[in-house]
Amino acid sequence: MTAELRHLRAFVTIAEEGTVTGASARLGIGQPALSRTLRQLEEHLGVRLVDRSTHHLDLTAEGAALLPRAASALAAAEAVLDPARLGRRPLRLGHAWSAAGERTVSLLRAWEAAHPDTALELLRIDDRSAGLAQGRVDAALLRGEPADLALLGLPLRTEWLLTEPRVAAVPDGDPLAALERVTLAELADRPIAVNTVSGTTTPRLWPEGGRPECQVEVANTDDWLAIIAAGRAVGVTVDSTAGFRPHPGVTYLPLTDAPALPLVLGWIDPPAHPLVGQLAVLARRIMSPEAGPHRV
């Protein structure tokens, strides 16, 4: 048997829905036929992709490893086969928050100048992988150390772009807002706003014995900013957020003793778009310290 797009589509939909019943309704395919398609894919690959021992289907380790590749390949194939986009499919660049900070506009303008026939679409997706895991983007701006990015479980290739200093975000009315800079210890006695979906800050940023006892969990950057502006918490982010996401009621301050955070361009290998490699080269040039903040 030769695997086809319908096999990947069946697998990805079943994984997203969590049940054959839900996937069947979404695809408009009978359950027996959908189960048979999944089984054919498993036989072709020689591995079991879905654990059928429970009412809610769970992916096996092999299924979890295949899912991002399958979603990316399916999205790329469907875009290529869309007659309306033939020959000019945009390059989709995901980010979870702050994109590339003040260099975002420079990157977009430089791409437009170099590749006028291929749009670079910037998509904010509230997800730690910025849409890569679901095949919603071709590449993504990701923040974190290599070990942190490895936890995403994706077959990632990355291009290091720069390292960003961390800053504290505090309510305007907080006494800390009057300071020129702060330390982690000065934040520790306040509730910490933690973006559990796409953020990179956790209590582990603080040393043992000095970690915050209270955290306020949010699911996106907008809620993170609103919680801080309301005076319910303080937060930690990178300095690009201060320029890219200013907010009335929030003051950003240099954080003197927190490690800087790498910003990388990441994509799933093999890339879903033929120009990902050229984006990596251009992004590295735009982000280099010699380029300055607004070079095009």
Question: What tens digit of pLDDT does each residue of 164-213 get?
Answer: 999 999 999 999 999 999 999 999 999 999 999 999 999 999 999 999 99
Domain assignment of residue 260, yes or no? no
Tell me which DSSP letter residue 260 carries: P
Q: Which of 141, 151, 147, 144 is nearest to 120 (CA)?
A: 141
In a domain, 150, yes or no: yes
What pLDDT does 85 receive?
Answer: 52
Three-state SS for 215? strand
Under 8 Å between Cβ of 283 and 140 = no
196 and 116 fall within a common domain:
no
For 224-234, b/e burial (b = at least 16 CB within 10 A) is bbbbbbeeebb
Three-state secondary structure call for residue 3: coil
CA distance 119 to 131: 18
Residues 275 and 141 in one domain: yes
Q: Identify whether residues 121 and 151 lie together within a single domain.
A: yes
Domain that includes residue 94, residue range: 88-159+265-291
Same domain, 239 and 286: no
Is 235 in the same domain as 171? Answer: yes
In the chain, the number of structural domains is: 3
Query: 181 or 53: whose pLDDT is higher?
Result: 181
Averaged confidence pLDDT in the chain:
89
pLDDT of residue 70: 86
pLDDT for 82 beyond 90: no
Residue with tokens 């070079």: 295
pLDDT of residue 296: 32
Whole-number Å distance between alpha carbons of 228 and 235: 7
97 touches 223 (CB < 8 A) = no
Average pLDDT (253-269) is 95
Is the distance from CB of 126 to CB of 222 less than 8 angstroms? no
User: CATH no. for residue 213?
Assistant: 3.40.190.10
User: What is the tens place of the pLDDT at every residue in 89-144?
Assistant: 899 999 999 999 999 999 999 999 999 999 999 999 999 999 998 888 999 999 99
Is 58:50 a contact under the CB 8 Å cutoff? yes
